[in-house]
Homo-oligomer: A and B are copies of this chain.
Amino acid sequence: MTEHSDPLGFTHHDHAHCRESALQAAEDTCAREGLSLTKQRRRVLELLLRKHKAMGAYELLDAMREDGQPAQPPTVYRALDFLVSNGFAHKIERLNAFVACAHPGERHKPAFLLCSDCGLVAEMRSQGIGEAVRAAAEELDFALERMVVEAEGLCPQCRGARA
């Protein structure tokens, strides 16, 4: 296993497990930090985990309607704000979409791989990239607060399919 291991999405994995453990991590963190994982917040997080891909806010709204419990845009955006601020989900700027965090609980600066063919979104653990950005910022006396790193290209499968 390397520092980039487990880029959620490149390999098969126990889906039910990752879903359960992510929810559990969210509950634990909320309990520990006095945050409330309310019904709507939990619902949105479950949807993100269920589909296990990047979803737009309106895609979430569609899913909520299909579940028989429709909601309005502000409801979803508020839930997403909560999830993102607390590290349970991330926004993919390039796609205007959201994914459940693949490493909840760990404090991390996420970096993503986006497949332009199949739409896969994989979250990397990449110490190296975070370090490089931090170093560049420091050299310019820039106080880094957040970083967006999204690499686009072809995932191994799609790359193969084109050969």
A24 close to chain B: CB less than 8 A:
no
Assess A129 versus B124: contact at CB under 8 Å? Given A154-B143, A159-B143: no
A150 close to chain B: CB less than 8 A:
yes
Interface string of A107-135 (1 = CB under 8 A from B): 00001010110000010101011011101
**Number of copies of this kind of chain in the complex:** 2
A7 close to chain B: CB less than 8 A:
yes
From DSSP, what is the main secondary structure of chain A's interface residues?
mixed
Which of B137, B151, B154 is close to A151, meaning CB atoms less than 8 Å apart?
A: B137
A35 close to chain B: CB less than 8 A:
no
Closest B residue by C-beta to A124:
B136
- Sorted from nearest, which 4 A-B pairs have the closest CB atoms? A93-B93, A132-B132, A145-B153, A143-B154
